[in-house]
Amino acid sequence: MAYFRLLTPRESIIFGKKLTTSSSGIEPGILVALDTETAGDAVAGETVSTSGSTSTVFGFAFGARTLEYTPTTKVYDIGEAVSVVQGTGVAAMSSDFFTSGSGDWATPDAVLYAANGGKLSTAGSVKVGRLIRTKDRTIVGGGETIALIRFNIQP
């Protein structure tokens, strides 16, 4: 199960005024880019989509879904309101947010880059942060290893 937690909210900027999603597959922890063209009926600059390996990263999708019904998934619907975390900070995240899963964690202090689908990778051209270390986390039915990262996203 995908896990993303912002550990230093006071260091980061949480931007969420009038932002909505314009693509599928966005959930808390996915890197997003600010759309520059009109997407459907939305106004340019008010929607975000998953970032790619060469696009300018706007930040991490962040926050709980705010629908009238109880959502059964963390993935935002297209057109749903979303907040974005920018600036600097520390986050804990599962291997779901890395292109090679936990294989990207082999090198301590590795530089992390944006990859296709809004994920992180240890190879690329758009730098977003560094791997601090890995940590074991206990969950119901077992445990998992998560990555602690320091990010620096200045759009």
Q: How far apart are CA 36 and CA 7, in angstroms?
A: 30
The domain ranges of the chain are 4-153
68-109 pLDDT per residue, tens = 666 678 888 888 889 999 999 999 998 889 998 777 777 778
pLDDT at 59: 94
pLDDT number for residue 37:
61
Give the span between the Cα atoms of 59 and 75, in whole angstroms: 16
Q: Are 130 and 112 in contact (CB under 8 A)?
A: yes
* Predicted TM-score (pTM) of this structure: 0.87
Q: What is the largest CA-CA distance in the chain?
A: 45
Contact 48, 22 (CB under 8 A): yes
pLDDT at res. 70: 60
pLDDT tens for the 155 residues of the chain, in order: 788 999 988 888 888 767 889 888 999 999 999 887 654 555 567 889 999 888 889 999 998 777 666 667 888 888 888 999 999 999 999 888 999 877 777 777 899 999 999 999 999 999 999 999 988 877 777 778 889 999 999 87
Q: How many C-beta atoms lie closer than 10 Å to residue 118's C-beta?
A: 25
Whole-number pLDDT of residue 41: 52
Token code pair at residue 78: 């297209």
